[in-house]
Structure 1
Amino acid sequence: MAVRLFEGKKHAAAYLQYRVAPHELISRIMSYMEKKTPKQFNLAVDVGCGSGQGTILLAPYFSKVVGTDISPAQLEMALANRNPPNVSYRQCPAEELPFGSGEVDLVTAMTAAHWFDHQRFLQEADRLLRPGGCLALVSYTMDMELEYGDVSNTLNDICKELYAALLPFRNPHIRSGSEKIYLDMFDCCSYPDKEWNERLLIKRTMPLSGYIGMVETFSSYQKLQEKDPAEAERLSDDIRNKLLLTMKVSSPDTEVTVIVKYFYWLACKPCI
């Protein structure tokens, strides 16, 4: 059964503002495709596209890119973004995609597939893909790290406090960690030509407030905020203040390096 989250307008706006766009992973996906299939890159479909940060990264490689999502609020944010002319969006479930059989060259899902009905989604992706087309599923672990001067280790101990406080509010669907979900999906994929990749560390420099904002987009933080808004605000403020104190700065606009730990798997549909 698919899980529906991230559908409020405020949450969708924060998602667009703070989530990291993994252009390094797009390069890896395209390198894989170029090795596996003739250079026939007509249509890419980005499923569970959210506010479209990953979708637009595919635009230089394909004649047409379509992002799909179940959430009208997320798609509203995606449409408000600066989109290349070959990018468009459709509202639909991940398990019922409005494309013909064998029509798609690449199906991607970036930090979204763990919310899908896994078996139905894999069947739908197989229906869409042409022979030689590729499937790419991407996500990252919650334990992002910070780098700042010589206090990085102390900062990351504080970050671990934050993640531990949010753990009880994780959706039961991913309580044991999303990485296992992706491994299970990888094992369920029937394509013989497939590869599992862990871990790709992606670094981004951003204000400390950007890191806090990113964590506040997590479903676990959103759940805490829904249950106890005052406690969610207290936790966020407490962690921010501890980080600032350790960094010996007063402004949350101070830049830090955020390390996001991505994992992903790629598969190529057999040619008949």
Structure 2
Amino acid sequence: MTYRLFEGKDHAVSYWKYRISPSGDLLQQVLGFLEKHKGRPSELAVDVGCGSGQGTLLLAKHFASVVGTDVSPAQLELAMEHNKEPNVTYRARFLQEAHRVLKPRGCLALLNYTIDMELSFPYCSLQELNQICKEFYAALHPYRSPHLGQSSIQLYREAYESIPYPDKEWRECVWDRKRMPLSAFMGLVESFSSYQALLKDDPQRASSLSQVTCQRLMSCMNVTSADTEVEAAVKYFYLLACKPEES
């Protein structure tokens, strides 16, 4: 069953503006698995649950053709609006069966990151800085979709364990570091479905929570502008699997 968490137009705009994409190093880990088990040429990549397409565009130079799919028309509208790659297309119909779609030696890559990012800033107490972040995440946790459980990592781990392919890999904690303005970090957290649920339920509380958190972080950093750059450590997890020749 598909649960729809990122469909609204405003949420899609926030998603495009603030959502991050995996670094080149992290993407290369996925592509390395594909080259190891399938080799070249790389004909087709399907980005399932592509959202507004940031990650989809990263695949364009590595594959002859890239297809992004998502259940949200609003997300796909933004993806197509920002797409300048001739080999990238988008579709709204979700691909139900990856096993059926994959060719022999085709590879499946499921990659995601968690909300519990860690910040660092020069001459600043990392413990104090990230305690503020933890309190922000904790305030949003009651608004997390119950369909996702306590952690989406568990859903991916269960998917990994259920895949019968002999060639597969599971990585639960890969830290990817990115520099961004503090305002972009706040926008990123606000793009998560838990914040959006709070925003829908109590707009004033959501706005106040975000503003107070941002002010506390600036005070801890001893800066006066939310445009100040911080380093965010983002915790990714992923599973990789290669379909056998005969299955």
Kept in 2: contact 1:138–1:262 (CA 8 A):
yes
Kept in 2: contact 1:46–1:68 (CA 8 A):
yes
When residues 214 and 79 of structure 1 are mapped into structure 2, their CA distance, relative to the original with a 3 A threshold, is same
**Who is 1:108 aligned against?**
none
Among residues 166, 186, 189, which one is paired with 1:215 in the alignment? 189
Query: 2:149, 2:156 → 1: CA distance?
Result: 14
**Length, aligned pairs only:** 244
**Who is 1:59 aligned against?**
60
**CA drift at 1:141:** 1.8
Query: 2:36, 2:167 → 1: CA distance?
Result: 12
Among residues 129, 142, 146, which one is paired with 2:102 in the alignment? 129
Q: Deviations over 1:231-269 (max 9, x none)?
A: 000100110010011111111101101110001010000
**Who is 1:120 aligned against?**
none
Query: 2:134, 2:90 → 1: CA distance?
Result: 37
**Who is 1:22 aligned against?**
22
Kept in 2: contact 1:131–1:269 (CA 8 A):
yes
Among residues 129, 149, 159, which one is paired with 2:122 in the alignment? 149
Aligned residue identity for 1:13? V
Kept in 2: contact 1:48–1:94 (CA 8 A):
no
TM-score (norm 2): 0.96
Aligned residue identity for 2:217? L
What secondary structure sits across from 1:54 in the alignment? helix
Query: 2:136, 2:184 → 1: CA distance?
Result: 15
What secondary structure sits across from 2:104 in the alignment? strand
Kept in 2: contact 1:155–1:246 (CA 8 A):
yes
Query: 1:3, 1:94 → 2: CA distance?
Result: 15
Q: Deviations over 1:161-211 (max 9, x none)?
A: 001101111000123100111100001111111110131111111110000
**Who is 2:35 aligned against?**
34
Query: 1:38, 1:130 → 2: CA distance?
Result: 13
Q: Deviations over 1:220-240 (max 9, x none)?
A: 100101100000001001100
What secondary structure sits across from 1:132 in the alignment? coil
**Who is 2:7 aligned against?**
7
Kept in 2: contact 1:201–1:260 (CA 8 A):
yes
Kindly report structure 1 stretches of 4+ aligned residues shifted beyond 4 Å.
none
Stretches of structure 1 lacking an aligned partner (at least 5 in a row) = 96-123
What secondary structure sits across from 1:265 in the alignment? strand
Query: 1:252, 1:237 → 2: CA distance?
Result: 11
CA RMSD of aligned residues (A): 1.0
Give the % identical residues: 51
**CA drift at 1:81:** 1.1
What secondary structure sits across from 1:84 in the alignment? coil
**Who is 2:222 aligned against?**
248
**Who is 2:88 aligned against?**
87
5 Å-filtered alignment, 1:143-222, equals 143-151=116-124, 152-222=126-196
Query: 2:109, 2:216 → 1: CA distance?
Result: 38
Aligned residue identity for 1:54? G
**CA drift at 1:93:** 2.4
Query: 1:50, 1:66 → 2: CA distance?
Result: 12
Kept in 2: contact 1:36–1:132 (CA 8 A):
yes
Aligned residue identity for 2:30? I
